[in-house]
C-alpha cells in the first residue's frame, strides 16, 4: 500500500487545490505526493509543496486519513491529510507537476467537485464536533 500525505491549505474560506484534466474529467487535488525513501510524511509534504507550488509550508495536525482500494494490484493508497500553512503566493512549477493551474475552491464547493483524495465532506466537517480523523475507505472516482 502506498502512503500519500497531502495538505489542507485554507485561506479566505477557500481550499488550495491543483486542477488536472484526465480525459474530459476535471480533478482538483490537494497538494502532496509520495515520500522518498527515509523521508517522514511531514518532510515529504514540505518538499512536495515547495517543488509543486514554490512556497514554504508549515505542517500541522492530521485532518483525516482514509484508504483508496483500486482494482489494480499494488495501487492501494492510504491518504493522510494534514493542516498546512504556506508563506508566499503559490505558483505552479511545470517542471514538477502536470497540474494545469492552482484553484482556490470555496469551502462550500468542495463537495461538488472531484477531489483527490475525495475528502470534501471531511474538509467541510473538520471543525465541527464530533469528529473522527479515520474515515476508512474513500469512495474515489477513477481519475487516471
* CA nearest neighbour of 83 among 109, 52, 49: 49
3-state secondary structure of 135: strand
DSSP strand pairing (77-87 vs 2-8)? parallel
Provide the strand spans (E) within the chain.
Answer: 2-8, 10-11, 14-22, 25-29, 56-68, 77-87, 101-106, 115-116, 134-137
In degrees, rounded to 5, the angle at the alpha carbon of residue 7 between the alpha carbons of residues 89 and 134 is 160
In tens digits, the chain (144 residues) has pLDDT values of: 899 999 999 999 999 999 999 989 999 999 999 999 999 999 999 999 999 999 999 999 999 999 988 777 677 899 999 999 999 999 999 999 999 999 999 999 999 999 999 999 899 888 775 666 777 777 877 655
The cell numbers describing 3, all together, are: 502512503
Domains of the chain, first to last: 2-137 (3.90.79.10)
Strand order in the sheet with 77-87: 2-8, 77-87, 56-68, 134-137
Amino acid at each position: 500500500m502506498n502512503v500519500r500525505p497531502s495538505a489542507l491549505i485554507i485561506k479566505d474560506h477557500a481550499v488550495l487545490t491543483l486542477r488536472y484534466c484526465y480525459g474530459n474529467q476535471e480533478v482538483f487535488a490537494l497538494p502532496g505526493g509520495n515520500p522518498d525513501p527515509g523521508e517522514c510524511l511531514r518532510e515529504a509534504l514540505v518538499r512536495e509543496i515547495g517543488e509543486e507550488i514554490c512556497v514554504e509550508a508549515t505542517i500541522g495536525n492530521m485532518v483525516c486519513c482514509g484508504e483508496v482500494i483500486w482494482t489494480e494490484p499494488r495501487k492501494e493508497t492510504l491518504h493522510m491529510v494534514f493542516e498546512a500553512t504556506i508563506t508566499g503566493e503559490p505558483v505552479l512549477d511545470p517542471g514538477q507537476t502536470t497540474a494545469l493551474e492552482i484553484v482556490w475552491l470555496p469551502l462550500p464547493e468542495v463537495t461538488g467537485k472531484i477531489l483527490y483524495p475525495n475528502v470534501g465532506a471531511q474538509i467541510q466537517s473538520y471543525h465541527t464536533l464530533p469528529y473522527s480523523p479515520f474515515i476508512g475507505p474513500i469512495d474515489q472516482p477513477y481519475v487516471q
